[in-house]
Structure 1
Amino acid sequence: MAVKKITEKLSDQALTEETGRGWAAWFAELDAWGATGRTHTDIARHLVDAYGVSGWYAQSVTVGYEQERGMREVGQSCEGDWQASGSRTVHASAERITEAFADDTLRERWLPHADFSLRTHRPGKSVTADWDGGSSRISVYLTPKGADKTQVGLGHTKLADADAVAVYKAFWKERLGVLKSLLEE
C-alpha cells in the first residue's frame, strides 16, 4: 500500500478555496521566498504571518512543499523520524475506547499479541504506549462527537523507514476497524 503525498490527499480546488491559491501557486511563492533553505517552522510561520493562512493549512502547504522539493519523504516528520497515522470514528464513548487500550484483557481482543507497554492514559482523552519493546511509540487522541460517538486518532512514531510507515498504516487501519467492530457489538 503506497502512502500518498499530501498533494494527492488535499485537492488543488480545496486548497484554493481555503487559502486563495493552489499547490503550484504556493510552491512558486515559497520558491521565490527561498523556502528550500528554511526550516519547517519558518515556512509555516511565514504562511501564517505573511498570508494569513490558518494553522492547519499552513502546515499542509509546508509539508506539501517539503515533499515536492525533496526536503522530506512521505511519512517523515520535520525532525526526520518516520511516522504513520490512522483514524476511525467509533460508536462508543471516549472513556470506553480508553479502556480498550488500557485494559490488557480487552486490548487482547482487538490487538492480540501486541508488544504494547502502556505509558500514560487520560480516560476519555488520550493514551500513549511504547511499541515493540520501546523501539517506537503510539499516541492516541480521542475526540468525542456526541455521547456515544468518538473519533480515534492514532499516531505511530519512531518507525524505521518508509516501508514501516506503509506497513503500519495498513496495520492500524485494519486494527482500528476491529476495535470499532468490537465496541459496536
Structure 2
Amino acid sequence: MSKAADSAANQTRAESIPGIERATGRDWADWVKIFEAKDAKSKPHNEIAIIARAEVPETLYNPDWWAQAVAIAYEQHAGLRVPGQSSSGTFRVSASRTLPLDRDAAIEAWAAAAEGITEHLGHAAGEPRRSRTEKRTFWRIDLEGAGRVEASATPKDDTRVILAISQDGLPDGERIEEWRAHWKSLLAGL
C-alpha cells in the first residue's frame, strides 16, 4: 500500500467536488459508484483516467482535462494519493498570476526576477532554459533535491497573460505551502 493510502490526512480536496459535479452534471456519489463498479481502487492512474473519460460528457469543454480532474479526485477519495501528490508519488505545487503583458514579456519579467536567485528555500538553482511553442512561452530550472520548476505564460485575452509557476518532483508534501508562498511572493513582485 502506498504512503498516501496510509496517511490519515488523505482526503479529496473539498473545493474540487462542486466543480466536478457542476461540469459533469453528475453527483460525486455517482462518480464513486462508477469507479467502485470498475474496481478502480486496484488500478493505476492511467486506467482510472480512462474510466473517467468514458463517463465525462462529450459536450463538456476540454473533456480530457475534466477526466483527469475526476480521476485525481477519486484517487484522493480512495486513499491512493493525497492532495498535491502526482501519480508517480512525488508532489507538485503551483501558483499563478494574471499580468497585463504579452507572453514573451511575462517570461522576461519572470526571468529578470528569478534568474538572480541562486537558491530557492535552500535548494540550488540550475541553469535556466527557455522555450516557446505556438501557444505558450516557457522558462525552466532544476532545483537540487526539490524537482523542476516551470514558468509558463499563456495569453488570457488580447491584453493579459496568465503566468503560472509549477514545481514538480518534490519528494514529500510537507513543504508544499511553504513553496507555494515562495512562488507567490516572487509573482507578487512582478
Q: Same fold (TM over 0.5)?
A: yes
Q: How far is 1:51 from its partner?
A: 4.7
Cα separation, partners in 2 of 1:6 and 1:93, compared to 1, 3 Å: farther
- Residue in 1 that maps onto 2:14: 8
Query: Which of residues 91, 95, 101 in structure 2 aligns to 1:86?
Result: 95
Query: Identity over the aligned pairs, expressed in percent?
Result: 26
Are residue 161 (structure 1) and residue 172 (structure 2) matched? Answer: yes
Cα separation, partners in 2 of 1:173 and 1:102, compared to 1, 3 Å: closer
Q: Deviations over 1:129-153 (max 9, x none)?
A: 112x364210121111244411011
Cα separation, partners in 2 of 1:172 and 1:61, compared to 1, 3 Å: same
- Residue in 1 that maps onto 2:31: 26
Q: Distance in 2 between matches of 1:107 and 1:70?
A: 36
After TM superposition, the score normalised by the length of structure 2 is: 0.78
Q: More deviation in 63-72 or 20-29?
A: 20-29
Query: Which of residues 153, 163, 172 in structure 2 aligns to 1:142?
Result: 153
After TM superposition, the score normalised by the length of structure 1 is: 0.79
Q: How far is 1:122 from its partner?
A: 2.2
Q: Deviations over 1:72-95 (max 9, x none)?
A: 011110011111111111112211
> RMSD of the alignment, in Å?
2.6
Are residue 126 (structure 1) and residue 138 (structure 2) matched? Answer: yes
Equivalent residue pairs, number: 172
Moved over 6 A (4+): none
Q: Do 2:96 and 2:187's aligned partners in 1 also have CA atoms closer than 8 Å? A: yes
